[in-house]
Structure 1
Amino acid sequence: MAGNGEEDLYGEELRPGALVGDWVVERIQVLGPVSALYRARHAHSGVPAALKVLHSQVATAAVALRRFRREAATLQRLRHPHIVTVLGYGELSDGRPFIAMEWLEGQDLAAELAARGPLSPREVLLVMEQVGAALRVAHAAGVVHRDLKAQNVVRLAQGRGGPAVKLVDFGVAKGLVPGAPGSSSLTHTGVVLGTPLSMAPEQIRGQVPDARTDLYAVGVLLFQLLTGLPPFRGTTRHEVEQQHLHAPAPRPGEHAPVSAALDAVVLKCLRKEREERYPNVDALLDELRGAVLGGAAPVEAPRALGLYVEGRTPGEPDASAMEELDAGLERAHALALEAGLEVRVMGGACLLALASLPDDVLRERELRARVLDVGLALTRGDAPPGLSVTVHVDRLVTRDEAHGWGDAAASAWDDAGGEGGLLHLPSWIQDGGDGALIVTGAALRGLEADFVASPVSGAPDRWRLTARR
């Protein structure tokens, strides 16, 4: 170290003003046994970030260092709205590695449970839809989280359309695909990693985990969210592990007003043998929805907002025009996420983003106005040419649409003769020409005084928006 001033900034605990990569430390947030978490800001943009820095005494251990670097590689691989985003990673001058992640304003579910008690079944379903979406992406990429617990699910302070949560801390994640980040030998069979309150029996035995290992932890999380308590408790790690291995799982209904159908979902997640659990997260979510929303009774599809962006190039596109088109779609992607939408389709020349509408009238109107502002930003005079934007509000037609959109789902809907809804794009996408923002009456309703709008000739209930009033 150069002197006392630098030692003060870059000692074992980083001080405000320390420069870590491109980020300037503001304060320490959490001091853990293996690493410290700091709040920081980007030196140039000022964007807040969470810096996770490995302690020096731990950084000298090869296994811990490899696991830390693997977490960064894993998170960079798993890009999803409900998984914390990695902004960068590197090492300090003394060799301590760090990961810079997006800063999440909110609190983890363990803190929320401690502050307010159990969640209602519908709130639990909203949370688990998002956790399940994150796990679906991880499992499809060949990654098992292995430490899913209430402390590793952060509920954002500004959740839109219900509880918005993000899955964090993939520090003990294991790859299912050889050679993938997380598949190294440091988590080989026989090594026990995870948190005792949430560990599946096969983890405790040191067996190779798979996606169903995370589903056991989902069962633990469901139990906690519904009752405020973990299913198995003890005074020592060994006592808790023995219960996971041998004790019958209790029913949530023993501790909270929970239906028998919901009890059955949780108990199936908590089966000792993984072969007896749900085969995947989609099967689990299907039964969870039925248990919460009324079993086999028809469930009214939720209303949602859709933002469709299509890029067009006049004539034969050249390299410059294609670059502008790509840049415009990337900007649309970033603005959609910033506005609280989830990007469901990102094609070579189009983007579809959706968000469920809140029940609260004011919040619903705020969401629609925010998305209309996105549309204006993408089609105003100084925006790259060639983008056409349509905004619509309708029901999410099928369960497939509510939880994953794709050509197969669209084809099945069309084959069935279905019309309308956000899944059936031809029913609401309007060709208004390049640089146009077209909105349906359902998307504009109640906001007419806030935007400059004119009716689209020959297109009933379609409006062309050009500016904010």
Structure 2
Amino acid sequence: MTNRKDAPGDAPLEPGGRAWSLYGEELSPGAQVGGYVVESTRYRGSVSTLYRARDSRTGTPAALKVMRPQYTASRGALRRFQQEAETLRRLRHPHIVDVLEHGTLADGRPFIAMEWLEGRDLAAELAARGPFSAREALELLEQVGSALRAAHGAGVIHRDLKAQNVVVLSGGAAPVVKLVDFGVAKLLSPEEPGTEATSTGLVLGTPVSMAPEQIRGETPDARTDLYGLGVLLYQLVTGRPPFQGTTQVELEEQHMHAPVPRASERAPVPAALDEVVGRCLEKRREDRYPDVDAVLEELRNAVRGDGPGRVRQVRALGLYMEARINGQVDDATLEVVDTLLERVRARMDAQGLTVMVEGGNFLLGVAALPLGEDSERETRRKTLELALLLSEEPHAEAKAARISLVPTLHVDLATLRLDVGGRQGLGGGRLLRLSAWTGGHPGHGVLATAAALTGLEGTFHSEVLSSHAGLHHVTRLEA
């Protein structure tokens, strides 16, 4: 590796010896790694250590990441690390950190030498200055997006796009960013599920930007990075990630099932920006943008207001179906819940409702209401009839497991936009703020809001729920 007299290949690795002091588990100042000399330790992670070093020929500073010895026993991890490093070395782009060299120490530890970036990551930038305006966020994401475009074109998926992995360089008149850690940290510790290493080598146990397919253990693709881009956009303009939780499980559940919050409710940004975030954060990757260029195009339109108007607000209805468990919760009970919800999904599909959000014990079906007062009222009537049928249908297994289906119907504004195939679909809007209208169900019967019941007073009997003034208990009129 080197001809220095104190390198591991030239001196015995014995405790107390010069080589041991330089090349122990942590490298000491003066250690020669490839063409670089270690100056100091900057960050210690559970998988790797990051050092500041200097090119021994030019004196140029460099960042040196070295795998910890205990991980070198996995030949698969070593091979993938080296393959990833070689790919990144070929991937030259003004907004991607340069990989200068990679190789292996005499004891088998792989290393990557990268350009040294003077600055701080976006997470630190946000903490110091607060949220960015929509235009400032666009300027930053234009750079991040161009980096992703180049990476995807070379067949490289970042897999861990988040604020900590975008470095804002210091000293320029306008902010310039560089993207770091293209999945290298993920390859470093494949035996440790649920951990991620940041650009500094620190291990982060909470997946703040992990796409649903990653949580399920599926193979990431370019659309996985678009999910991370949506998380980053929301965080830039609001100062916080869209989903937060006290535990990893809680956070993963939100990524998998929770509706996307609206950035415009927390920051002075155009409502059209909510649609960009929402489409990036679709639970199914097939429903996201096809590529990063499509994201940037709509983000420019949203921020500058010069787009062709692909989104608009429409009145829509939402049928929230919850399987309420009133007895013991065990595997058999959960299987019954799954069976019931599959039947509900089939009935919703037949009624023209699209399941937009789902959780372990609930489904939300939505549909745009037709134009015309009579047509709209008839659609609401049919949906309310469906809710009553679903709540009343006898299911022996549900009765035995003490499970009841409790529907809530609501009408509000939702966003109508084009999906990846150019077809119209619903997404976002006030209708999907579930906490505003789904929290007051007593656990039996059918509830509906006043907006859902307008004009149906002579068709159904309704009583205002005493515990929640905004909801009505609905039954059929007596013959």
Using structure 2 for the length normalisation, give the TM-score.
Answer: 0.57
Whole-Å separation in 2 of the counterparts to 1:253 and 1:63: 45
Whole-Å separation in 2 of the counterparts to 1:51 and 1:58: 17
CA contact (8 A) 1:25 1:38 kept: yes
- Structure 1 residues 277-312: Cα deviation after superposition (integer angstroms, max 9, x where no partner): 111100100111111122339xxxxxxxxxxxxxxx
Corresponding letter in the other structure for 1:70? Q
- Structure 1 residues 158-187: Cα deviation after superposition (integer angstroms, max 9, x where no partner): 335x2111110013599xxxxxxx9xxx98
CA gap 1:215/1:173 in 2 versus in 1, 3 angstroms: farther
* Counterpart pick for 1:22 among 18, 29, 35: 35
The question of 1:100 aligning with 2:100 is answered no
The residue correspondences of 1:305-324 to structure 2 (distance < 5 A) are none
Corresponding letter in the other structure for 1:164? V
Question: What is the aligned partner in structure 1 of residue 262 from structure 2?
Answer: 251
The question of 1:145 aligning with 2:158 is answered yes
The question of 1:196 aligning with 2:193 is answered no
How far apart are 1:256 and its partner, in Å? Answer: 1.4
Corresponding letter in the other structure for 1:170? F
The residue correspondences of 1:264-343 to structure 2 (distance < 5 A) are 264-296=275-307
CA contact (8 A) 2:234 2:277 kept: yes
The residue correspondences of 1:61-460 to structure 2 (distance < 5 A) are 61-159=74-172, 162-172=174-184, 196-296=207-307
CA gap 1:90/1:42 in 2 versus in 1, 3 angstroms: same
- Structure 1 residues 129-162: Cα deviation after superposition (integer angstroms, max 9, x where no partner): 01000000111112211111111111111335x2
How far apart are 1:64 and its partner, in Å? Answer: 3.0
Query: SS of 1:144's equivalent?
Result: coil
Question: What is the aligned partner in structure 1 of residue 201 from structure 2?
Answer: none
Detail structure 1 runs of 4+ shifted over 6 Å in the superposition: none
Question: What is the aligned partner in structure 2 of residue 40 from structure 1?
Answer: 53
Query: SS of 1:196's equivalent?
Result: coil
- Structure 1 residues 389-408: Cα deviation after superposition (integer angstroms, max 9, x where no partner): xxxxxxxxxxxxxxxxxxxx
The question of 1:57 aligning with 2:70 is answered yes
The question of 1:8 aligning with 2:12 is answered no
How far apart are 1:193 and its partner, in Å? Answer: 7.4
Whole-Å separation in 1 of the counterparts to 2:103 and 2:73: 15
How far apart are 1:85 and its partner, in Å? Answer: 0.6
CA gap 1:121/1:168 in 2 versus in 1, 3 angstroms: same
How far apart are 1:50 and its partner, in Å? Answer: 0.4
Gaps of 5+ in 1: 175-181, 298-469
CA gap 1:141/1:187 in 2 versus in 1, 3 angstroms: farther
CA RMSD of aligned residues (A): 2.5
Query: SS of 1:87's equivalent?
Result: strand
Whole-Å separation in 1 of the counterparts to 2:19 and 2:185: 35
Corresponding letter in the other structure for 1:167? L
* Matched length: 287
- Structure 1 residues 64-99: Cα deviation after superposition (integer angstroms, max 9, x where no partner): 323322331221131111111111111112111110
Corresponding letter in the other structure for 2:176? A
- Structure 1 residues 240-286: Cα deviation after superposition (integer angstroms, max 9, x where no partner): 11100001011112221121011111111111111211111001001
How far apart are 1:5 and its partner, in Å? Answer: 2.7
Question: What is the aligned partner in structure 1 of residue 422 from structure 2?
Answer: none
Identity %: 65
Whole-Å separation in 1 of the counterparts to 2:238 and 2:103: 41
Query: SS of 2:208's equivalent?
Result: helix
Whole-Å separation in 1 of the counterparts to 2:288 and 2:212: 12
Query: SS of 1:223's equivalent?
Result: helix
Corresponding letter in the other structure for 1:155? V
Whole-Å separation in 2 of the counterparts to 1:128 and 1:171: 19
Whole-Å separation in 1 of the counterparts to 2:75 and 2:245: 33
- Structure 1 residues 177-228: Cα deviation after superposition (integer angstroms, max 9, x where no partner): xxxxx9xxx989xx87756110111111112222111001000001111111
How far apart are 1:110 and its partner, in Å? Answer: 0.8
CA contact (8 A) 1:143 1:173 kept: no
Corresponding letter in the other structure for 2:22? L
How far apart are 1:128 and its partner, in Å? Answer: 0.3
How far apart are 1:58 and its partner, in Å? Answer: 1.5
Whole-Å separation in 2 of the counterparts to 1:295 and 1:72: 41
Query: SS of 1:28's equivalent?
Result: strand
Whole-Å separation in 1 of the counterparts to 2:267 and 2:72: 44
Gaps of 5+ in 2: 1-12, 197-205, 309-479
Query: SS of 2:40's equivalent?
Result: strand
Query: SS of 2:269's equivalent?
Result: coil
